[in-house]
Structure 1
Amino acid sequence: MTAIDSRLPMPSRNPLDWDPLGNLVMRPWYDRCALHLVARWYLPLSRAWAAALTYGEDEDRFAEAVGLDRFPDGWTGRRLRRAIAGALRQRQRHAVADDHWRSAFFGQAVPLDRELVEAEQTRIAAANALMATRFGFLGIRGRSHAVAWQVPAPPDQDHLAAQRGSAGTCIAALLDGEAALPEVEASHPVPGPFGQERWLRFASPGLDGDTAWARVFEPEDAEGAPTFINLHGIGMELDFWKGTIDHTASLTRQGLRVIRPEGPWHGRRRRAGFYGGEPAMALGPEGFRQLFAAWGADVAVLVDWARRNGSGRVALGGVSLGALTSQLTAVAAAAWPERLRPDALILVATSGDLLDIALGGSLSQAVGFGSALHRAGWSDADLSRYVPLLEPRGAPVMPPERIVIALGEADTVTPFAGGLALARRWAVPPENLFIRRQGHFSVSLDLSRQPQPLNRLIEILTRS
């Protein structure tokens, strides 16, 4: 191998960073197109892909899992059998590559840098090929469900009373005492384009039998560097798609350590029978409550790890689902020991009104979230009683001057009004509130071209 093979390659350049093109594309029309592609294409293909990986060549169970009356005949059936077989073959190839990657990065022997780079590049290529096999199911895209609904019946009053509060209360309960914090295992470091990278894994405090994972990007001199724990959106599995654009990794050039956790039910934590993030939707409000609580507990472990490994201030934040989790965690942290509390918060494309997201959000409507709830016996009154578990009802642990919020005026997924109301309720100062004429997807994707919210976060973390 050549010398360049001893360092992970630069991340893909976002073509929309070129200002004339970005200014044209990063507008509300893009969000309408993106919403259609996600709800009508990506999610149905993902449902068929997950069914193939779960039921294999059992055609009757596959058909039931994707919402077909029966397995198709003729050319469509033959093409579908090839797609299923291809997905199963690629799953085996990925398993081999992933086993080798784990042995290289977490084994006792310390490999050469080029061996780690080769293992990572082989792993991501196999993961990308596995994820891409979902496009083999295009022939049934229009007939496949987007979500495998498994919404439980609404809880009774006694159950609700036991859970009363916010999801932050559940997060805090998972972290009662020092013994609740699991040991974090760090992989061997590998040189990256902006410093070095490693992975962390630990037993999830909030999901029995689950291992939490996180990728860490560190500057050359990480001692005392501020840390940003960045939570992704629903269905985002950046460690499984090759060439994905991640603007936060480059923050290491400005002296930040960036921790990018994999959310519950995503990536390596994907639940059998579902695609990444699907259980949060499929289980209705209870799915989101479980995810918020488990991911928030993971955050506390990562804040602790960052501080034990030389970090100064620690910021928490994310986009969409990651922002909703972060805002609940920021409230829950008031009950945590001081060393577990994040110092700053950044929320992108968020809302404090979960009822509006569930019933009025465009993605929720597109996948039939409200209809699934009503089929399971949920009334609007049941949902109204439940949503306090999912909303940040208390005050965050950090003061308003350490909170940054970026919103899109045309956001219909996490509707803009709920985000603005949260910013006002938390008294976020004007210099920390960024409102743009964009929608849900563009306001986050455009942060690499217009990084003012991130720059403001850096100022907060680095000022004396």
Structure 2
Amino acid sequence: MHKNLHPGRASLPTRAMKSPLGKLIARPWLDVCVLYFLKSWFFPLSRLWAAARIAEGDVDKFIEHVPLSKPGPRKRKQIAKALYQFDRQRLKAFSTEQLWNTYFFGPEDVAPERLPIVEDMRLDNRTAYNTTRKLFRPLKRLVQTSVQVSPPTPEEVTKRYGRDGHKLDALFALPNTLPKVDVSRSIPTEYGRDYWIRFASSSIEMNDIVTARVFEPQDATHPPTLIFGHGICVEADHYHQLLDEITDLVKMGIRVIKPEAPWHGRRVLPGHYGGEQLLSAIPLSMIEFMAAQHKDWASMIQWSRETSTGAIAIGGSSLGAQTAKLIAAKARDWPEHLRPDALFIVAHCAELAETALDSSLSDIWNIGRAMKDQGWTHALEKDWLEKLDATHPPCMSGDNIISITGLRDTVTPARSAAQQLDTWSVPDANRFVYQRGHFSIPLGIIHDIAPLQKLADILHAQSPKKNRDAS
């Protein structure tokens, strides 16, 4: 077994979180540190990194796309050096990704023992590429905005989707035929095997390929499945040794599918960093994002039904949770086989606007001035974002919904989440509420797996008896 395979042997950070030290780390002090890091380091450096992606080594093009004030000769030399090092690492990452595609999805036979090696190479080079953000530290203070903002006007959104949003139903409607799903070769892990699925997105607006990593239990025979969405700017399949809050589900006999959301990972647009486009054109970008997610997740639900008779849960953390809730509500009108059986939501709230407009994260993004210049008011933005909230009951009963929230969460307020759970008749036994903030909530799940065990019990109970016996 290769030492770095995931989720076979847990990563060092994950093992640390499972130790007594984990209880000390997963506390609100961590959230303060993370918010500072995001505001002062991650987002400014990401904007510089994104500009380097489109600059292709051209200093002037880089300056234009950040944008930066005209630098002096010394700064220009620093930029040129950083771009050279960036492009070297970028080429390594892209070349390895091409090799990875050949080995895992190519038509020619390959030696199975080489697959874990190629996957390690991919993660090594992609992690190194992602961390080239550090090359641009000398320029960090020159960044005026961490998001390349190009919002539409209210009139443009109204023209596209109607004054009251009546055209949104057509945007969210599933196609008559969902796309064919390709399955990669697999790599063995201590608890089963990992592989990837990919398919063409049914979203005309995205017009790209969806890739998802699948974590399958040992000797799985028709296992239950969780489709788990990530938060904004999270690209877990492109870093070595990341924390993973749901790895333990695989040990419990649950197949886990973790898709890349639009504008993240392999789906990032040129000149952007992962998730940036979602912030660049709010509310239009959020509308198109959610509509694409509906179609993409429907494809994964169908594939899960085709490959297993086990029950299916959808869920996610933060934006992934908000996505799963809206899908669960919309799925009431979907064909029966596309309706998920359970919902697993981590760090969520009742309204998207609470996070996008009024949270500690929205303070970091600081896109309000650009929105105002385009004619947006807080009320107008909220009105459109509310059309993306799960205002109708989900397709599953409250007994099959599991919620994890934090009373110190300043990104997705727990109070509104609790009120929504009340209307959905979610029992107290299915609500896990902690004295944690937005970023310490997932870490807490690693240390306390009770919510995961609850989900596993629900899914196994809903699966055919022969499946439960096999698990």
**Smaller-chain TM-score range?**
over 0.9
1:358 and 1:384 mapped to 2: Cα distance? 9
Is 1:462 aligned with 2:460? Answer: yes
Shift of 1:58: 2.8
Shift of 1:10: 2.0
Task: Give the corresponding residue for 1:128.
Answer: 127
Larger deviation: 414-423 or 136-145? 414-423
Task: Give the corresponding residue for 1:70.
Answer: 70
Give the aligned residue type for 1:186. V
Q: How does 1:53-452 map to 2 (within 5 A)?
A: 53-74=53-74, 76-144=75-143, 145-155=145-155, 157=158, 159-161=160-162, 164=165, 169=169, 172-173=172-173, 175-177=174-176, 179=177, 181-206=178-203, 207-452=205-450
2:217 and 2:146 mapped to 1: Cα distance? 40
- DSSP-derived class of the 2:231 partner: coil
- DSSP-derived class of the 1:216 partner: strand
Shift of 1:225: 0.7
1:384 and 1:249 mapped to 2: Cα distance? 36
- Residues 397-443 of structure 1: CA distance to partner in whole angstroms, max 9, x if unpaired? 11111111111111111222222222222221111111110000001
Shift of 1:222: 2.0
Unaligned runs of 5+ in 1: none
Pair 141,6 (structure 1): closer, same or farther in 2 beyond 3 Å: closer
1:171 and 1:303 mapped to 2: Cα distance? 19
Pair 141,111 (structure 1): closer, same or farther in 2 beyond 3 Å: same
Larger deviation: 143-152 or 320-329? 143-152
Shift of 1:353: 1.8
Q: Does structure 1 conserve the Cα–Cα contact (< 8 Å) formed by 2:321 and 2:347?
A: yes
- Residues 335-357 of structure 1: CA distance to partner in whole angstroms, max 9, x if unpaired? 11111111100111111122222
Larger deviation: 225-234 or 448-457? 448-457
- Residues 312-335 of structure 1: CA distance to partner in whole angstroms, max 9, x if unpaired? 100000000101111111111111
Task: Give the corresponding residue for 1:36.
Answer: 36
Give the aligned residue type for 1:164. G
Q: Does structure 2 conserve the Cα–Cα contact (< 8 Å) formed by 1:197 and 1:215?
A: yes
2:459 and 2:290 mapped to 1: Cα distance? 25
TM-score (norm 1): 0.93
Shift of 1:16: 4.2
Q: Does structure 1 conserve the Cα–Cα contact (< 8 Å) formed by 2:28 and 2:435?
A: yes
The size of the alignment, in residue pairs, is 457
- Residues 340-397 of structure 1: CA distance to partner in whole angstroms, max 9, x if unpaired? 1111001111111222222211011121133332122101231232122221121111
2:417 and 2:333 mapped to 1: Cα distance? 24
Give the aligned residue type for 1:404. I
Determine what percentage of the aligned residue pairs are the same residue.
Answer: 35
Shift of 1:49: 0.5
Q: Which runs of 4+ in 1 moved over 6 A?
A: 5-8
Task: Give the corresponding residue for 2:467.
Answer: none
Larger deviation: 410-419 or 153-162? 153-162
RMSD: 2.1
Give the aligned residue type for 1:161. G
- Residues 179-219 of structure 1: CA distance to partner in whole angstroms, max 9, x if unpaired? 2x000000112212310111111000114430000001111
Pair 157,278 (structure 1): closer, same or farther in 2 beyond 3 Å: closer
2:164 and 2:302 mapped to 1: Cα distance? 26
Shift of 1:158: 5.2
- DSSP-derived class of the 2:446 partner: coil
Unaligned runs of 5+ in 2: 463-471
1:5 and 1:348 mapped to 2: Cα distance? 29
Pair 67,49 (structure 1): closer, same or farther in 2 beyond 3 Å: same
Q: Does structure 2 conserve the Cα–Cα contact (< 8 Å) formed by 1:284 and 1:369?
A: no
1:404 and 1:166 mapped to 2: Cα distance? 32
Shift of 1:165: 6.4
Pair 384,5 (structure 1): closer, same or farther in 2 beyond 3 Å: closer
Q: Does structure 2 conserve the Cα–Cα contact (< 8 Å) formed by 1:165 and 1:389?
A: no
2:142 and 2:167 mapped to 1: Cα distance? 38
Task: Give the corresponding residue for 2:466.
Answer: none
Give the aligned residue type for 2:193. Q
- Residues 229-249 of structure 1: CA distance to partner in whole angstroms, max 9, x if unpaired? 111111111111111122323
Q: Does structure 2 conserve the Cα–Cα contact (< 8 Å) formed by 1:186 and 1:198?
A: yes
- DSSP-derived class of the 2:447 partner: coil
1:203 and 1:315 mapped to 2: Cα distance? 22
Give the aligned residue type for 1:21. L
Pair 434,305 (structure 1): closer, same or farther in 2 beyond 3 Å: same
